[in-house]
């Protein structure tokens, strides 16, 4: 099969590496990809949001399957466009991807189906949102821009003043553009966070090993939220008991609720969860693989990813056997100095030789005049497989300094907690 992957980050590099292993894949292409992906796939110079161009390319070049990895083209309906042209696509249609594309929708959806989540109120009018914050008694409080905002549209506000400021930024100054026209104001949850990714074709759901992201920019969970600075899997927080509760109260009701509403989900669904003292609650849904969770979960997959992908698109997921390796995986992101605020691109990169149980995923890299240079906030994710998390962590940190570029920064505490 000729398979085209859409996207350009570390997640897409991990997806491409896994698809490349499959005997079902004769030719792998990626649009627009990055310098690492270019080593294993043919690069198609079309950006992820050039939906018409992607659709035309897939049709003209007899692509057998398009794997849509990022959030924006899913929310914008790329899968629907491809299917309308008779091209097979992996990922949810627009009417299911809305569980990530609109936080107001996802909160109301959870309420309708009795799925545990933080208490909330939704506002599309500034005055009433302001009045709500002025009357609020419990802080911190969480403000969320309704739409997609590059993973940055969530602000945890320690007190009333910072909440009012965040509201002004979102609704008046429009720092997240149209994404902030509607704002969800949420109760602050405490507990241990975890990510559960699952393959689903709407009939069957198969969870992957639970992982733990590290969203804050700096060690000790300090600083701004980022796309994710490192991850590991499996997370010990996800015990057998928590797993049972998550499946019963969250995973199954979500898939069922989506079906009942005519929004059957086919693809990878992401459950961002908090194990709180009052049980497991949903922090957010995503309609896709997470980044950097994918860089730890897919290396643990011991089955053919392409076989699973095909089974999902053909609604026969229950017919495939999905196996996972023993042990653990851990990844650390090597980021540009100013990430997530001010990213300077174009710095030359030097790389050493890594041992064989390490995988270097490129995230924001490109070739400029034949030289490898930085091209984004998250530049690499270095993953190790180990017998446990501590072992994998030791391996990554022993070799991460073999990556080198100006102002490179990484967290030193991934997986320590």
Q: Which chain residues interact with ligand AMP by CB under 6 A?
A: 118, 142, 151, 154, 156, 186-189, 193, 215, 225, 272, 283-284
Cβ-based nearer residue to ligand GLY, 293 or 304: 293
Of the two residues 187 and 357, which places its CB atom closer to ligand AMP in the complex?
187
Q: Between 12 and 186, name the residue whose CB sits nearer to ligand AMP.
A: 186
**Which among ligand AMP, ligand GLY, none contacts residue 309 (Cβ within 5 to 8 A by kind)?**
none
Q: Nearer to ligand GLY by C-beta: 284 or 304?
A: 284
User: For residues 92 and 304, which CB has a smaller minimum distance to ligand GLY in the complex?
Assistant: 92
Residue 225 interacts, among ligand AMP, ligand GLY, none and using kind-specific CB cut-offs from 5 to 8 Å, with: ligand AMP
* Shortest distance in whole angstroms from residue 154 CB to ligand AMP: 4
Q: Which partner from the list ligand GLY, ligand AMP, none does 142 bind, CB cut-off 5 to 8 Å by kind? A: ligand AMP
262-287 burial code (b ≥16 CB/10 A, e <16) = ebbbbbbbbbbbbbeeeebbbbbbbb
Phi, psi for 186 (deg, rounded to 5): -130, 150
**Cβ distance to ligand AMP smaller for residue 44 or 242:** 242
Name the minimum Å distance from CB 14 to ligand GLY: 12
> What CA–CA distances, in Å, run from 113 to 103, 188, 252, 259, 278?
15, 21, 11, 12, 18
Point out which residues bind ligand GLY (CB under 6 A).
151, 213, 228, 286, 290-291, 293
| Distance of closest approach, residue 144 Cβ to ligand AMP, in angstroms | 6
Q: Which does 121 bind (CB under 5 to 8 A by kind): ligand GLY, ligand AMP, none?
A: none
Q: State whether residue 232 is helix, strand or coil.
A: strand
User: What residue number has its CB nearest to ligand GLY?
Assistant: 290
Instruction: Please state whether the peptide bond connecting residue 292 to the residue before it is cis, i.e. omega within 30 degrees of 0.
Output: yes
Q: What is the CA radius of gyration of the chain?
A: 21
Could you give the residue ranges of the DSSP H alpha helices within 270-366?
Answer: 294-297, 305-313
Residue 293 touches which of ligand GLY, ligand AMP, none (CB < 5 to 8 A by kind)? ligand GLY
Q: In three state form, how does the secondary structure of 24-57 look? A: CCCEEEEEECCCCHHHCCEECCCCCCCHHHHHHH
Burial class of residue 11 in the structure, from the number of CB atoms within 10 Å of its CB (0-12 exposed, 13-18 middle, 19+ buried): buried
Q: Using CB distances below 5 to 8 A depending on partner kind, what does residue 386 bind out of ligand GLY, ligand AMP, none? A: none
Q: How far is residue 268's CA from residue 289's CA, in Å, rounded to a whole number? A: 6
**Rounded to whole angstroms, how far apart are CA atoms 119 and 127?**
20
């Amino acid at each position: 099969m000729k398979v085209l992957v859409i996207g350009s980050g570390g997640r897409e590099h991990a997806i491409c590496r896994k698809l490349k292993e499959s005997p079902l894949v004769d030719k792998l292409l990626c649009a627009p990809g990055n310098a690492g992906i270019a080593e294993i796939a043919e690069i198609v110079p079309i950006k992820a949001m050039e939906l018409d161009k992607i659709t035309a390319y897939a049709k003209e070049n007899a692509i057998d399957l398009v794997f849509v990895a990022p959030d924006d083209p899913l929310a914008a309906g790329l899968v629907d466009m491809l299917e309308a042209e008779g091209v097979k696509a992996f990922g949810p249609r627009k009417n299911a991807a809305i569980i990530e594309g609109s936080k107001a929708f996802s909160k109301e959806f959870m309420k309708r189906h009795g799925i545990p989540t933080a208490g909330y109120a939704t506002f599309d009018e500034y005055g009433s949102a302001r009045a709500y914050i002025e009357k609020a008694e419990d802080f911190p409080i969480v403000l969320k821009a309704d739409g997609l905002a590059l993973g940055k549209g969530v602000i945890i506000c320690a007190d009333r003043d910072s909440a009012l400021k965040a509201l002004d930024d979102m609704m008046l100054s429009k720092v997240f553009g149209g994404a902030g026209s509607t704002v969800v104001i949420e109760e602050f949850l405490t507990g241990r966070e975890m990510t559960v990714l699952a393959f689903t074709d709407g009939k069957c759901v198969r969870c992957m090993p639970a992982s733990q992201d590290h969203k804050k920019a700096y060690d000790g969970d300090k600083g701004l939220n980022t796309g994710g600075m490192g991850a590991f899997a499996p997370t010990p927080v996800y015990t057998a008991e928590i797993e049972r509760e998550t499946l019963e109260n969250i995973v199954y009701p979500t898939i069922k609720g989506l079906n009942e509403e005519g929004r059957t989900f086919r693809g990878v669904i992401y459950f961002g969860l908090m194990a709180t003292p009052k049980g497991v609650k949903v922090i957010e849904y995503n309609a896709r693989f997470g980044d950097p969770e994918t860089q730890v979960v897919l290396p643990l997959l011991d089955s053919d990813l392409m076989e699973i992908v095909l089974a999902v698109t053909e609604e026969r997921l229950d017919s495939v056997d999905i196996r996972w390796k023993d042990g653990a995986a851990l990844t650390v992101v090597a980021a540009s100095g100013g990430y997530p605020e001010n990213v300077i691109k174009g710095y030359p990169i030097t790389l050493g030789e890594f041992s064989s149980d390490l995988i270097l995923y490129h995230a924001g890299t490109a070739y400029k005049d034949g030289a490898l240079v930085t091209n984004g906030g998250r530049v690499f994710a270095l993953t190790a497989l180990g017998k446990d998390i501590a072992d994998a962590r030791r391996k990554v940190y022993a070799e991460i300094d073999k990556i080198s570029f100006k102002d490179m920064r990484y967290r030193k505490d991934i997986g320590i907690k």
